Amino acid sequence: MKDVILILPEIVLAGTFALVLLGEMTRFGESLHLSVFIALAGLAIAFIETCIIYQVGAPLVPIFHGAIVVDGFSLFFKCFFLLLAAFHLITLPDDIPRARLSEYCALTLASVMAMILASEVAEMFLGFLSLLFLSLTSFFMLATRRQSIVATEGSMKLLLAHTLATGFFLYGSGLLFAATGCGDITSMQAALLAHPLPMHVQVVVFTLFFLGFSAPLGAFPFSLIVPDILEGAAIPTAGFFAIGSRTAGMAMTLRFILGIFTHQGDQVWHVVGDWNFTRLIAIVISLTLLCGGIMATMQESLKRMVGYLIVAETGFLLIGLLVLDKIAVAALLYNLVIELFALCGIFYILAFFAGDVRGMLRSAPFEGVCFVVFFLCLVGAPGLPGFLGKFTLIGAAVHHKRFAIAGFAILTMLLGHAAVAKLSYQMIGDGGVALAPSRSRIGVLLCLLVPLILLTLFSDTLLLFASRSLGFLGGAEILM
């Protein structure tokens, strides 16, 4: 019974998903569409339940025989995904036909369930299934504009990349299962501590694992297709995918890599075995950062530029994993929250201007200023909360003597600013899309902007919340 209570938010989501599908099947030309409201109500109930579980205190025990862990970490991500989905449904893309609204709502709910599952899974086989679930839901969402060749190409690239990555993960899991004889991450860690793998096996297993997570993360080499995927999709869908899928990938990466390949120290994690896998992560980070930063400055298409900026962000986030430090992982979570607001704002405004921001500062000054502020927040401009986020991650790299990574990160910050300056350059002057003033649009933007400003003033609260959410970092004894 306890197991069921702890996954009540997921049950509510599944019920809502069923209701929306039922509504879609029984619909017969009615003009009133309740599917969005039903979906939003389901998300709200799931959010409240998640908050109650968080407030009461998650028991930090695995449920369903160790397949799932409901701890502060997974609850943090659950809140994150529910908020993201609610925002996405409130600002649904206009180009979705009314007849397909229920289908789109159902897909959104399915995606959220996939993301939540990815954040709480603690067993290899279920991990594989959650990666597949995530790939499929992302594919279907991105392919909603199937009449567009670019969208179809992007979604196919995503499916292929994710399938390939899931295959890597499966091979890695298989090797690890063969070596340890167990499937859940806690037992695997214990087995690896008792009998470390030979170095060459360790290299292969970790590389396969990391490649498996690289696709949802958008890390190098999969970073090269991220802009293609985003370019084809409807802009709000691209935003939902760019934030959600990547964050789910990050949650899974953290849980699996820290849970299996490291053991808990006082403030840091120590690598299990002879091979220091952080070298591989450092190379991936450097390439991801530089690929994102340099390519972002070279783009003519706004959507592609955002895509590369997101890639660079992934590089920044991975610094939190690289240094294997509690404070850095908390900083990573902090950055994810900042990104949530900043990217939602960017994609929301972008949807209205269809990628053409020429003359935006004159035609829609409020939206223009918000757009620049969201971008500056994303790239870490001083005085905005994104800056503290970048400082915490780059600082962690310096603290652990990763000076080269810190240098790359600062260079990428600089390139990110250059890309934003280039974008802002287009926003000055005349031309572009003329937009009628809208109070609802200003309201939505204020809903994103005000939390960002508050996060600047009360950064510590969010940092503490992030630290407290790292329940699973207590190590094996807590998970047991």
Partner 1 sequence: MKYHMISWMVFLPIIGTLLQVFLPEKKSKWLALGSSLAASVAALFLVMSLGTDSADPQAGEVFAWIGSYAIRYDMAVDGFNILVVLLLALLFPVLIACEWTRAEGVKGMYSLFLLLQASLFGALCAQDLFLQFSFWGLSALPFYFLIGIWGGEGREKAAFRTMMASVVGNSLIFAALVLIYYSLEPHTFSIHEIAQGAIRQAVVPVFGTSVKVTTLACLLMCGGLALRAPVWPFHGWFIEAAEEAPPSVLVALAAGVVPVALSLFVRMSYCLFPDVLRAHAPALVLIGLTNLFMGALSAVAQKSLRTLLAHVCISELGLILMGAGSLSPEGLVGSLYQVLMLGIGLAGFGIFLSLMTDRVGSSVFIGTPGTSHKLGMQAPTIAVVAGVVVASLLGFPGFGGFVGHALIMIGGFSARPWSIFPLSLSFLLVSAALFRMYRSIFLGKAQVSGGPDVSLREQLAIVPLVILMCVCGIYPKPFIEMIRPTALTMLSLLHRDGE
Q: Residue 279 or residue 399: which is nearer to partner 1 going by CB?
A: 399
Closest distance of CB 427 from partner 1, Å: 8
Closest distance of CB 434 from partner 1, Å: 17
Radius of gyration, CA atoms only, the chain: 21
Q: Residue 238 or residue 397: which is nearer to partner 1 going by CB?
A: 397
Structure-block tokens of residue 69: 């862990």
Q: Does 382 bind partner 1 (CB under 8 A)?
A: yes
CA separation for the pair 275, 285 (Å, rounded): 18
Chain mean position to CA 232? 19
CA separation for the pair 271, 282 (Å, rounded): 14
- Find the part of the chain contacting partner 1 (CB under 8 A) among 152-160, 193-201, 213-221, 393-401: 393-401
CA separation for the pair 195, 183 (Å, rounded): 16
Residues 460-479: x where in contact with partner 1 by CB under 8 A, - otherwise, as a string: x--xx--x------------
| Angle of CA points 245, 251, 252, to nearest 5° | 90
Closest distance of CB 413 from partner 1, Å: 6
Q: According to CB under 8 A, which residues from 292 to 351 bind partner 1? A: 327, 330
Q: Does 358 bind partner 1 (CB under 8 A)?
A: no
CA separation for the pair 362, 435 (Å, rounded): 11
> Residue holding tokens 């810190």?
406
Q: According to CB under 8 A, which residues from 394 to 423 bind partner 1? A: 394-395, 398-399, 401, 403, 406-407, 410, 413-414, 417-418, 421-422
Q: Residue 180 or residue 297: which is nearer to partner 1 going by CB?
A: 297
Which residue in 194, 195, 270, 425 binds partner 1 (CB under 8 A)?
Answer: 425
Q: Residue 112 or residue 361: which is nearer to partner 1 going by CB?
A: 361
Q: Does 381 bind partner 1 (CB under 8 A)?
A: yes
Q: Residue 30 or residue 430: which is nearer to partner 1 going by CB?
A: 430
Q: Does 376 bind partner 1 (CB under 8 A)?
A: yes
Q: Residue 57 or residue 382: which is nearer to partner 1 going by CB?
A: 382
2 burial type by CB count under 10 A (0-12 exposed, 13-18 middle, 19+ buried): exposed
- Partners of 121 in the beta sheet? 68
Task: Give Cβ neighbours of residue 421 (< 8 Å, ≥ 6 apart).
Answer: none
Structure-block tokens of residue 60: 């930090």
DSSP collapsed to 3 states, 143-184: HHHCCCHHHHHHHHHHHHHHHHHHHHHHHHHHHHHHHHCCCE
Q: Residue 132 or residue 410: which is nearer to partner 1 going by CB?
A: 410
Residue 301 to residues 151, 239, 242, 423: CA-CA distances in angstroms?
Answer: 15, 16, 17, 10
Chain mean position to CA 131? 13
Structure-block tokens of residue 344: 């939602």
Q: Residue 6 or residue 388: which is nearer to partner 1 going by CB?
A: 388
Q: Does 450 bind partner 1 (CB under 8 A)?
A: no
Residues of the shown chain interacting with partner 1 in the complex, contacts defined by CB under 8 A: 327, 330, 361-362, 365, 369, 372, 376, 381-384, 387-388, 391-392, 394-395, 398-399, 401, 403, 406-407, 410, 413-414, 417-418, 421-422, 424-425, 427-429, 459-460, 463-464, 467
